[in-house]
A and B are shown apart, each in its own frame.
Chain A
């Protein structure tokens, strides 16, 4: 590269700085994330003991009859730190509340009439099938540890105290 003057770099870096910080300041001002720009609003609301919270546990039923916990991070490690929100969004049909729906989701939505009429977790079976197959593919076909079914159990912590964390709510099960 030919040598440039300091003036050239001052102009260039001024543009880079504005291009980067203007959207970041906008995100901060309105507390809005618009990928790839963000506001660092992690844990901004804080925790409240009286607010109920749902959580999920992924489990498998093996050929030998055991029920085991399955950690999805070992199956789809690309979703690191994002698996729990993906599951929650899928259970609550957030993928049917987009401005532009996937054609398959549009078709399903047309059958039911509206998002409110959709069963909870309309696409959870597909997700479970994927995780079940990924788990079984790690094992030899004769292994008794292979899964015959996989399920997602939903619980709610709504006791309002530091006890009774896991009130069972619902389960989705998929035979493999």
Chain B
């Protein structure tokens, strides 16, 4: 088991850059000013967000409020991506990202795309992820002086979390729908429903072709369930890793093209399965 837990400071540092960098890029590309113009009266605070008073939302959903939130997010995520004052900046990023993701979910629904990355941020906030591949290291504020377990276990935990996402998703489907989940109409009905409006992020129309092949769709849905149930192999059996992740990429591209539902954050988080020490060694050699 110890081979799963052993890792390097470099590997953990790269993962920190990927996770925080993903949120940083997304924040840069998002119009907070437009979000701030939405009427606060349509907000439906979810979970933890219910504990925040309406007066706070009133002040937040203004040009000044949203500008302040975006500035704080950008600054904090930039520092944690760079690995500067890492211990404080990753914790600050965690708090701000949890708040922001809760805010957008309070307008819409509790979707799952970003959640794995949010949990990765939570894990990183309590690790020595600034000991290498960071400004803290280059400025000699930190050095990789912890045992390999301190760097390896967080990455293992992140991989385990990704496996839980797919594995539990398959179990929930089987618990709720049972074998009716394999009905011929399941996939085409959902896909067409998500292709009828113009409120989704994309407007692919491939779903309307699915009824023509509905007899084979139970097998396709069944294979997806099997893949989800077997995803933990990607953590424990390295030889299967690239097959499982490759199927994951195909799956998420298919949900985009057929259902107009995409999980970009989740795909970006597949990078925690890369052996970054090997990549660094290969780059040095070449």
Contact = CB atoms under 8 A, between A and B. Distances in A.
Q: A and B from one assembly?
A: yes
Nearest to B53: A100
Interface in A1-32: 1-6, 9-10, 12-13, 16-17, 20-21, 24, 28, 31
Contacts of A110: none
B89 to A, nearest CB: 15
B276 interface: no
Given A4-B150, A36-B102, A42-B169, A104 B262 contact: no
Contact of B32 (A55, A78, A155): A78
Contact of B149 (A3, A10, A55): A10
Contacts of B165: 40
A35 B35 contact: no
Interface in A50-85: 53, 55-58, 69-73, 75-85
Given A90-B42, A102-B43, A38 B115 contact: yes
Interface residues of A, number: 79
Interface of A: 1-6, 9-10, 12-13, 16-17, 20-21, 24, 28, 31, 33-49, 53, 55-58, 69-73, 75-87, 89-90, 94-95, 98-100, 102-105, 123, 126-127, 130, 133-134, 155, 157, 162, 165-166
Interface of B: 29-32, 34-35, 37-50, 54, 87, 98, 101-102, 104-105, 107-113, 115, 118-119, 122-123, 126, 128, 131, 142, 145-147, 149-150, 153-154, 157, 161, 164-166, 168-169, 171-173, 175-177, 180-181, 183, 185-194, 196-201, 203, 208, 211, 261-262
Given A2-B145, A56-B197, 20 more contacts: A5-B147, A9-B149, A13-B153, A28-B171, A34-B47, A35-B48, A38-B110, A46-B177, A47-B188, A76-B35, A78-B35, A78-B104, A79-B35, A79-B104, A81-B113, A83-B201, A84-B194, A134-B34, A157-B196, A162-B211
